[in-house]
Amino acid sequence: MATDRTDRGAEGENTNGSATAVDDTDGKSESVPHPAFAAYADESVPGATVGAPGKDGRLELRFGVDRDGDTNLVRDLARAPFHVSGTLGHDPHPRGETVYVQSPSEGVAQGDRRSVTVEVGAEAVAHVSTQSSTKVLSMGHNYAESDITLSVGADAHLDYVPAPTILHGDARYHEALTVELAPSATAVVGEVVVPGRLARGERFEFERYLSEFQARSDGDLLAADATHLAPGESDPTAPGVLGEFTVLGTLYVLAPGGERGELSDRLHAVVADEERAGAADDADHGGADDERRNDDTVRAGATALPNDAGVAVRALGHRAETVTGTLHDAWDEARTALLGVGAPDPRRL
Amino acid sequence: MTDEATLESFRLADSFLPVGTDSVSDGLEQFVATDGVTDVDELAALLETYLRRQHGQAGLIALRAAHVATRADDLAGVLDADRRLEATTLAAELRESSTLTGERLLTLQREVREDPFLDRYAEAVDGDETPGNYVVVLGVVTALAGVDAREACLLSCHELATAQLGAAQRLLRLGHTDVQRVLDELRPTMVAAVEDSADRSLAEMTPFAPLVDVLSAEHERADRRLFVS
């Protein structure tokens, strides 16, 4: 599919951190920490420097359309630990292109400063995901940060739906994601956070997690959201926060071109159905006994975003798989509404 | 604060104030309808979430910013606070009830007193330049009346709690004494919410109550409901 990846030859294999062909935005790693992380920022990291090679992962992807209207990856730069092995043509959209980002390192460690930039040129249809969950490792010093900037051009579409983020005990993680959309652009951005290695009984043992989301168009802030969990300071399972649930997922369906009340209802119908299925199973098991709570229950809903930015879908569940599944169904429906084709089949991922 | 300002703050904090706060429940109706809140203790715990995780992390920051901007005769600063709060409020119903009650407070205040700054803000709301969120209107109104920012924040917490308790009284058939007890016991929470909001810029708004968002989304589509949110 990628016939005119002109830049790729020069930079595609550049994983060793040489920054010769890179616009210098390295200053970001030196930037002022978010106030919630300021107290960690002065702690030095034993054995390595904050943002040093291997700890300053950078990923830059740019998609454009060729003369036939097909989307191609026209530039990619991946500095360790990021790695891009190539593109996959399995998107149900005939002009679409898919990139899976690999990260061979064990996970996000203290002092890591990662930067991801994805640019989708006019009329391109791109899908960027990760091959496996992002594990945020235990930390005793400093913190880890990822800065993600997505931009989507006129009549273009981006799906940025990475695998879940898993927060190990004592993790401190700040992620800031900004998506800038042309007025005629659309995007789907997904996020699932798992508060520990649930299978081994670890939950809410991390120190701090702050994930900030912003959608902008023409310089205006359309919608902002934040997931801020600091279990030592305030109970994540408080009523109205996560309640009886453990895993939180949000899908932002961004379509600033018009009012999306109908799309909101459509997505709500899809995700609320799943909740009913869970509730029915509950009844089969003899009711809402806490001990026998159905682990497959997902409670989810869709609501129109402010400033006609699109729709947000929130899903709360007990397991990463069920929340991811619910968001995938919403993604599928949203893509059908926006592009006329569904989301890529998760079994092929 | 002057006696005049104190009396104005009493009037604004009174549930008697005809701004429609008796028609909003901010998701509480759906919590009760789906058995998420069944008694007074669960109610108090949910109100703590509203105050600490939402109001102290967003609404009060916008109120303070609007208050400061009004004192500086800076209409643009008020609009920044208003727009930022709007962009940060994900649940559509919560935005609607905020702008509905905001518009009523703005109209009411312009009936009872004349102020050119209030007129200019109202023009911006009428012209769809800015949404007119309740707490932002309250920030403007209290600043103009000489009510200090901290008092205005406490007033806003009290107002939120009494509105929710009023809704709960109807939804859960609570007794008057129970309602007063919860209101009394929430005082440290209100003070903490006001502390949470201090020294925070508009860019640092991080309201986080995802289950409230989900239940609010359910409430949008609920067949039978007493409250608009």
Over range A274-291, report the average pLDDT: 48
Q: What is the pLDDT of residue A285?
A: 47
Give the domains, in start order, of chain B with CATH numbers: 3-14+33-200 (1.10.4190.10)
pLDDT at B217 exceeding the cut of 80:
yes
Which residues are bridge partners to A123 per DSSP?
Answer: none
Alpha helices in chain B (DSSP H): 3-13, 28-33, 40-49, 60-71, 75-88, 92-112, 116-126, 134-144, 149-172, 176-185, 187-197, 210-220
**B180 band by pLDDT with thresholds 50, 70 and 90:** very high
Show me where the domains of chain A are located. 8-14+35-348
Lowest mean pLDDT among A136-150, A154-168, A284-298: A284-298
B6 and chain A in contact, CB less than 8 A: no
For B43-53, what is each residue's pLDDT tens digit? 999 999 999 99
- Give the nearest partner residue to B213 out of A224, A234, A314, using CB atoms: A314
Edge-first strand order for the sheet with A172-181 is: A71-79, A58-65, A113-120, A144-152, A172-181, A208-217, A220-229
Over range A33-56, report the average pLDDT: 85
Closest-CA residue of A relative to B206 is A226
**A53 band by pLDDT with thresholds 50, 70 and 90:** confident
B204 and chain A in contact, CB less than 8 A: yes
Decide which of B58 and A345 is more confident: B58
**A17 band by pLDDT with thresholds 50, 70 and 90:** very low
User: Which residues in A lie closer than 8 A to residue B85 (C-beta atoms)?
Assistant: none
Largest CA distance in chain B: 48
pLDDT at A279 exceeding the cut of 90:
no
User: Which residues in A lie closer than 8 A to residue B205 (C-beta atoms)?
Assistant: 224, 226
What is the spatial distance between Cα A177 and Cα A190, in angstroms, rounded to a whole number? 11
pTM of the model: 0.91
Decide which of A83 and B76 is more confident: B76
Mean pLDDT, chain B, as a whole number?
Answer: 95
Q: What is the pLDDT of residue A348?
A: 53
Over range A56-85, report the average pLDDT: 92
B42 and A239 in contact by Cβ < 8 A?
yes
Which residues are bridge partners to A205 per DSSP?
Answer: none
**SS3 at position A223:** strand
Over range A260-271, report the average pLDDT: 92
| Token pair recorded at residue B191 | 């003070």
Express as a percent the part of chain A with pLDDT over 70: 84
| Token pair recorded at residue A275 | 């909740």
Over range B220-229, report the average pLDDT: 86
User: Which residues in A lie closer than 8 A to residue B42 (C-beta atoms)?
Assistant: 239
A316 and chain B in contact, CB less than 8 A: yes
| Token pair recorded at residue A324 | 């991811």
B91 and chain A in contact, CB less than 8 A: yes
- Give the nearest partner residue to B217 out of A222, A240, A268, using CB atoms: A268
Express as a percent the part of chain A with pLDDT over 90: 67
Mean pLDDT, chain A, as a whole number?
Answer: 85
- Give the nearest partner residue to A303 out of B48, B88, B213, using CB atoms: B213
Lowest mean pLDDT among A33-37, A265-269, B147-151: A33-37
